[in-house]
Structure 1
Amino acid sequence: MFKSESTKLRETAKNWLYHAGKVYHFRKDRLSDSDVSELLRRSEEVKAGMKDKSESSDNRLRSSIESLKEHMEQVGGNYYPRGSMAENVEFFFAALIIYVGFTTFFIKPFKIPTNSMWPSYYGMTGEVYADEDEKPNAIEKAFRFVAFGAKHYEVEAPASGELLIPMVKTGSGSYRLFERPANVKRYFVMNAPGVERVLYVGKESVSFKYPADFNMDRQVLLPLQEADEESPFDRLLERGSLNQNAFAGTANEVVYDPRSGRNVNVTVHLLRTGRQVEAGESLLSFDLMTGDQLFVDRMSYHFVSPKVGDGFVFKTDTIPSVAEDKFYIKRLVGTPGDRVKIEGTTLYVNGEPATGSVAFDKNSKMQDNYGGYTTMKGRGPLAVDLSTEQTVPERHFFAIGDNSHNSSDGRVWGYVPPDAVVGRPVMIYYPFTKRFGLAQ
């Protein structure tokens, strides 16, 4: 607003010269010699007008800009004039290239889906509303969605009658909850792996979907049981010894069979709950809270070696026992040549209690919701048994979750090769909770 008209005119002229340069470089092999010469001549006139500071120079500069513009309209092809759509598409792809390059070499956003690093980092968690008065209203839902990434789930009874839970009989004769694979929307657009659960009221059913990485049983169902609330799930703990008297009959559900490539019918057994509900009554109400979202530093490990205690992000496509192409985050507990062992709840590295992270000490003392370390391991040939001291191989790393009771990590699938290493977390940037800030 403080610039003179003459200054603004010369800035406009500079912009027109930029467009003329694009037309010249991208179209000169398609234009006649005379058209190219005319484009260069009129561009030079604009340049001369920009340098002229006399009183009448502004009018001549405007005239030369109009002359250049008219010629570009004749010879510009797809490069001039350009519609707003073309400009927006060009801008989008330029921004995308910059984003991909930046996240590939410098800082990568990373979202934690599971709770293997809890409570250092949170994965998706569920907040259950057992009472009607606790449920958020529309304004609270909107606030929680923006601040915490919370998505509200409300499952209502499709009819009046007894609430029934569909279960599937396993080969061992016990029962498990029925679920089927489903797609859920990520960022409201992209399909992502999910799970669909079904509830019955009499012969009517209602279903709901949620992300596959969310542990519904642990995060939503178990708290209801511990709260001693009458719920659809108050008999699930007995499912290993259920008999036919516990069921109200059977029903058929359709499940996609990837082996045959088609849908198949599955018989489900409807478990009685004893809970009578009215049509429209809430069967289940909870918020699914997004996992912590981090910025991961991809540069440092090109200059410094990873250290025990670092948050450790790596890809799994080169780890044979994982057989997934994903990014994992664990705690680095062993570098090449380190000796690692767990005794009781304490992790030992090279014969001493591990240092380098507050998670080591808190797990050892079982403080602040840290549950202590455990030697749980997988059964595969690459599993690592930390009940005895293990030496990390050369050019490999060993990583386990801070929530070691519920973490699939190096104890299950072995060591991380160097080409799988991505970087270390530096900051939790979302959600806006007390964990916001520098990563532990």
Structure 2
Amino acid sequence: MTDSSTSSPRKARRIAKDWLEIAGKVYHYRRDLLPADELMELTEARAELKRVVKEKPNEVKPYEDAIDRLEPILKKTGGYYYPKDSKADWLETLLVMTIVALGIRQFYFQPMKIPTNSMYPTYHGMTTEVYDDPAEEPSGVWKWVRKLGRGTQHFELKAPASGEVVWVWPSQEDAIAGRSMFVIPSQKKPVWLSVGGQSVQANVPMEYDPRPLLEDLVQQGRARETIVNGHRAIATGKQVQAGDTMLSWDILTGDQLFVDRMSYHFVKPEVGDAVVFDTTNVPGMSDGERGKYYIKRLVGTEGDTIEIQPPVVLRNGKPIEGADAFAKNAAQEGEYEGYLRGDDPQFRGSPSRYPGDMFTVPEGNYFALGDNSDESLDSRFWGFVPERSMVGRAGFIYYPISPRWGLSE
């Protein structure tokens, strides 16, 4: 007997519709599997409940009678669809949530984590805080606040012996297979120190820039190059005793944001947008970077004439406008250090290597620069970004909790 004896006719009708939905699934998905007699029972009981729902009686009993007839038939014929256990319900809910999430990611908002500091200080990649004094290290509640709110990871390396600290540069072969968020496969690399012929290491994210750690170790005027086990190394001049803390530092996670994938279906990217693009089809991209997603500032669209006169970018002969970062770089305001030419000789395809170089952005392409020109590999080096590579524009920084949280610049 269904638990509807105290229900109003309206509520009983709503419950009956739920039963019809279950019966419909069983009928449509299992009718080819059911014996003829069971299929007939299901068809007749389903038709009877449909009739009652359509007639809208002013009493509860007709609904109860029709449901009571249908329920034992569903138990016999329902298979996966009835009765459902909690595991089946959970799996179905998970599947629906996954499909919805994939749809949102594909067409509306895609999450992205910024690993490097090519757009610093507008957007932060992974940054470093070194602790020279143990008393400076966060502890207790504050340590967990930083971990949860700022995404910090703490590392510490102690001296395995007494002597001079030697910084060892790892090679590509030293990459280590690891896990991100305990699940997602990722690669890590070692921060590798040697003292008295004994080595210790901490495994950090592959995109992390460890140079601030080296700068903290090196003693002024005492650093020198050396070799450790065939690896290029730097003897820092810093002396330690066995058991001393050589390095203690936090890595703060890069900004995590939602990319607006929808807008560029209706409007073209504009100069000043912080754009996200797929590097797969960027002609000058190195094989190691191809296929990744980059975020840069859009500087030129098709037909624009671009020239870099440090610290300013000229667009069509005038200082570029369209984003605060352009003006701040031109004025070298705060941590914005100004735009540089792409004069690194290893990048032969750069359209802006030499003073006075001026170029026009080809049809169907864009020119993009990092806000942190000195630390950015961008269109100065690998050339133009094809229009078809555009994914979207930066929308909202949702993590970590910092002054940059909120709508993207």
- Alpha carbons of 1:237 and 1:108: their partners in 2 closer, same or farther (altered >3 Å)? farther
| Contact 1:184–1:209 (Cα < 8 Å) also in 2 | no
The separation in 1 between residues aligned to 2:156 and 2:22, in whole angstroms, is 55
The separation in 1 between residues aligned to 2:221 and 2:22, in whole angstroms, is 69
The separation in 2 between residues aligned to 1:163 and 1:8, in whole angstroms, is 80
**Pick from 241, 245, 248: which aligns with 1:277?**
241
Q: Which amino acid is 1:189 matched to?
A: V
| Cα deviation digits, residues 124-155 of structure 1 (max 9, x gap) | 11111221111111422221122111112222
- Corresponding residue for 2:273? 310
The separation in 2 between residues aligned to 1:238 and 1:317, in whole angstroms, is 41
The alignment status of 1:183 with 2:162, answered yes or no, reads no
Deviation at 1:48, TM superposition (A): 4.9
The separation in 2 between residues aligned to 1:267 and 1:303, in whole angstroms, is 52
- Corresponding residue for 1:336? 302
- Alpha carbons of 1:130 and 1:70: their partners in 2 closer, same or farther (altered >3 Å)? same
| Cα deviation digits, residues 238-276 of structure 1 (max 9, x gap) | 34xx46xxx8xx5x5xxxxxxxxxxxxx56778474422
Q: Which amino acid is 1:40 matched to?
A: T
- Corresponding residue for 1:402? 371
The separation in 2 between residues aligned to 1:237 and 1:405, in whole angstroms, is 27
- Alpha carbons of 1:300 and 1:269: their partners in 2 closer, same or farther (altered >3 Å)? closer
| Contact 2:296–2:378 (Cα < 8 Å) also in 1 | yes
| Contact 1:308–1:332 (Cα < 8 Å) also in 2 | yes
Deviation at 1:166, TM superposition (A): 5.1
The separation in 2 between residues aligned to 1:10 and 1:145, in whole angstroms, is 52
Moved more, 270-279 or 88-97: 270-279
Alignment of 1:418-429 (within 5 A): 418-429=387-398
Alignment root-mean-square deviation, CA: 2.5
- Alpha carbons of 1:273 and 1:344: their partners in 2 closer, same or farther (altered >3 Å)? closer
| Contact 1:163–1:272 (Cα < 8 Å) also in 2 | yes
Which secondary structure state, in structure 2, belongs to the residue aligned with residue 320 of structure 1? Answer: coil
Q: How many residues align?
A: 394
| Contact 1:178–1:197 (Cα < 8 Å) also in 2 | no
Q: Which amino acid is 2:349 matched to?
A: L
- Corresponding residue for 1:385? 352
Alignment of 1:143-222 (within 5 A): 143-157=145-159, 159-165=160-166, 167=168, 176=169, 180-218=174-212, 220-222=213-215
| Cα deviation digits, residues 390-432 of structure 1 (max 9, x gap) | 1111111000101011100000000001110111112212111
Which secondary structure state, in structure 2, belongs to the residue aligned with residue 394 of structure 1? Answer: coil
The separation in 1 between residues aligned to 2:92 and 2:222, in whole angstroms, is 57
Q: Which amino acid is 1:161 matched to?
A: S
- Alpha carbons of 1:194 and 1:351: their partners in 2 closer, same or farther (altered >3 Å)? same
TM (norm. structure 1) is 0.82
- Corresponding residue for 2:39? 36
Which secondary structure state, in structure 1, belongs to the residue aligned with residue 258 of structure 2? Answer: strand
Which secondary structure state, in structure 2, belongs to the residue aligned with residue 78 of structure 1? Answer: coil
- Corresponding residue for 1:104? 106
Deviation at 1:298, TM superposition (A): 1.4
- Corresponding residue for 1:234? 219
Q: Which amino acid is 1:187 matched to?
A: M
| Cα deviation digits, residues 53-89 of structure 1 (max 9, x gap) | 22xx24x534543432221121122332333223222
Deviation at 1:204, TM superposition (A): 3.8
- Alpha carbons of 1:428 and 1:102: their partners in 2 closer, same or farther (altered >3 Å)? same
**Pick from 120, 129, 132: which aligns with 2:131?**
129
Alignment of 1:348-359 (within 5 A): 348-359=314-325
Deviation at 1:203, TM superposition (A): 4.5
Q: Which amino acid is 2:92 matched to?
A: E
| Contact 1:161–1:277 (Cα < 8 Å) also in 2 | yes
| Contact 1:428–1:438 (Cα < 8 Å) also in 2 | yes
Q: Which amino acid is 2:341 matched to?
A: T
The separation in 2 between residues aligned to 1:268 and 1:395, in whole angstroms, is 44
Q: Which amino acid is 1:296 matched to?
A: V
| Cα deviation digits, residues 354-389 of structure 1 (max 9, x gap) | 000111111011002100010024544532115311
The separation in 2 between residues aligned to 1:11 and 1:411, in whole angstroms, is 64
Deviation at 1:40, TM superposition (A): 2.5
The separation in 2 between residues aligned to 1:216 and 1:268, in whole angstroms, is 15
The alignment status of 1:120 with 2:122, answered yes or no, reads yes
Identical residues among aligned pairs (%)? 37
The separation in 2 between residues aligned to 1:204 and 1:177, in whole angstroms, is 15
Gaps of 5+ in 2: 1-5
Q: Which amino acid is 1:217 matched to?
A: R
TM (norm. structure 2) is 0.88
